[in-house]
A = this chain, B = another copy of it.
Amino acid sequence: MRIGLDAMGGDQGPAETVAGAVAACRDFGLAVTLFGDQAVIERELARGPDGGQDIQIVHAAEAVSADEAPVQALRKKRESSIVAGLYALKAGEVDAFVSAGNTGVLVSGSLLVVGMMPGLRRPGLVALLPTLKRQPLVLVDAGASVDPKPGQLAEYAVVGSIYAEEILKRPNPTVALINIGAEAGKGNELSRQAHQLLLGAPVNFVGNIEAREMLDGEVDVVVTDGFVGNVMLKLAEGLGMGLFSLMSREVRKTWSGRIGGLMLRPHLVELRSMMDYSQYGGAPLFGPRQPVIKCHGASGRDAFKNGVRLGAEFVRLDVVGRVESRLTEVAR
């Protein structure tokens, strides 16, 4: 098994991706192919310990910027790290592809380069959100499809259910639609229509849920469009981290606060790690017939290490194949 990693993706560049790849090789015994500027990657590799890691490099020096039109990039930037990685995935040269690059290019590349599994119109990003119950909930779509048709939300409900059942081992997972009220008639046009379609979908649909209740962890899967899902994910991240910095500012103000803070530290560290996206390593993109993992743009080496691990788990458990066969079953 060999995991491909986009060495040029992410806000922090190759220093973090390469270090993440080295750590994944060392800690999990994985083989990694890095896609990107060979000279830059080799320089970064030279900085780290040479532990005889099985790391290959595929030189791909073109850059895809954050504001580049995805279809354009796919057509013209075959020598970019992200597009080269997707073609290598398609060709079977790597078994999973991990990238913190342009989401639009990853999504379009899944459609156009890798190919979609039957039963899904467009890819959906699956993210895990921490809840008060300690077990994360599954959010689909976390940002792949920003103007979906109502029927896509029903498809995402199926994907989320399969993920919760097969990977998180939740029997008969409950699915709710993110909405701004509990009643079926609430919400915008999209959510009103999606609600009706979800009633007929082959999932355990329990109705609308408001974002406030979601965190109680009473449902296993929530579906929403990629715009709302992405906003929610980023707000949760910002708020979680923001509250911790506010708290540490408060705590440092007085001596009693400092002492209390020190005594609480181990507890807060645990709490903080629950809010930390890097532990999940990334969000799998469902739809492509081979595993594609989207890492957070702000990912550091730990997140990339875990992203590579998540890609390997997807290969090992044949998650994509299982979702595809369940989708086919559902569609029959």
Contact = CB atoms under 8 A, between A and B. Distances in A.
A66 B183 contact: yes
Interface in A214-233: 214-216, 224-228, 230-232
Contacts of A275: 243
A235 B234 contact: no
Interface size class of A (residues with CB under 8 A): 35 or more
A37 B263 CA distance: 53
Interface of A is mostly: helix
A146 interface: yes
A119 interface: no
A267 B250 contact: yes
A321 interface: no
29 contacts: A66-B181, A67-B181, A67-B183, A67-B184, A132-B242, A132-B245, A143-B180, A147-B188, A180-B226, A180-B230, A180-B234, A211-B238, A212-B235, A212-B238, A215-B235, A215-B238, A228-B231, A232-B235, A235-B235, A239-B239, A243-B271, A247-B271, A250-B264, A250-B271, A256-B264, A257-B263, A260-B260, A260-B263, A263-B263
Q: Which of A226, A231, A268, A270 has the most CB of B within 10 A?
A: A231
A262 interface: yes
A214 B236 CA distance: 11
A53 to B, nearest CB: 33
Contacts of A261: 260, 264
Contacts of A257: 263-264, 267
Given A188-B146, A234-B211, A264 B239 contact: no
A118 interface: no
A176 to B, nearest CB: 13
Contacts of A236: 235, 239
Contacts of A147: 188-189
Contacts of A250: 264, 267-268, 270-271
A54 interface: no
